[in-house]
Chain A
């Protein structure tokens, strides 16, 4: 109700780890903050055969990382959550808040995109459901209307046989990835039946590299195939260029990380 009334002057606060920074830097200047801090219904993790994993938007990164359900059903997501930012932020920041901020240099969006996750939105006008691709619009921009909130993230049960989320940092002391890569595959030994490959953090929003996915589908993966797929990924992404890394450097690192990750997924020795 308040959100509908105040619109852009109003911001929703969950964990606050991202919003506090934006407020400090005067990137946003709201007159009202609405805290979701007491809404226990929006926190927690469940699983059912139809929806798959259902993660409340207010669930902390540390809770995603530690959840036995997620570790069993989707270890790649738990593994990613155990490395997001730093331990303190994992105890404060929420998965829903992370998506809403749409920071390009963060890990959950690319991982969730590779898993085909869906975002549940609610407002006084009703509920709707978007794919991650539909939800993330651009650099710090989502499809959220001013009166909407994210209530839940769903990871549908899919036939994935393996997956990895990998982050590349310029230095070990950094918290913001320069590149991240999420790959999910359906495979049989070295045969790749299907692949979904997402590059994030080095693009304005995470993006699937469909030419790479199509290239891998149906192939028996060798180190040469992995290298070729990696070159496609490096060439096809919309790489940004900024103080943290030039476009050329980012493409080079995407190539390296992609090749290594594909090799690892298929149990190949990287050359």
Chain B
């Protein structure tokens, strides 16, 4: 596999409950001077205050793939829209996809793994979830989607910080960390933050996450098996690609329903390039992303999902090391 990321259009998926501040963020992205142009795919036309010929209005059309994967759903409208946008590829630098408030992020993420044309021409840069700091605890209590949107996120924008006390802020951040310890969290008011913190994150490159979160691999004190939680593992010796593929393939096939996201940076035996692996439920994808540079050659993997069995996952990952 070649290092093809450069030619592919970066795609940012923007999720979050109605009223969390997605539209405010989109308006900022479209109106601020940042020297780049983004094609924006939205569901409710007219909410945006900015007139832009690159805004695309769509209906979310989720359908099941007939590929034997019971939970494999994709967004058919996005397949068509990405195909259409490629006809004027030179007019924009990236694509931003807004999902409706109640949407499960899995179908949109899976679209970028499953459709061969979309996969060839785009790369999922990051899933960004906008969260209302004041109302998140209530949302988490009354809906499964709120937890899933946090679980899927690479970047979380903790918005409306002006409406909460420091204690409430600490509590909401604790709740987020319980679900997803690996997302980058930005605290904002009126979704105000540098655009560079949202777009072009290369978020599945775990290296960046590690740089911003030195405690990334710290042990989780709070494990709630039925709730969504996150775990990570690290091994020193290079992996045997065949063993890893066999193990992860089996794991995703059996536990894919519970595994919302899986991400890894892997050191393969006999290859001096980093291998980036990621999966959404059962659908996996991987590619070499350039050489190891100076850093320790360790393989790291992250699981975000329900019913995670720490000892089992650790033993499985460790057994993938080349002997």
Instruction: Determine if chain A interacts with chain B.
Output: no
| Residues of A participating in the B interface, judged by any CB pair closer than 8 Å | none
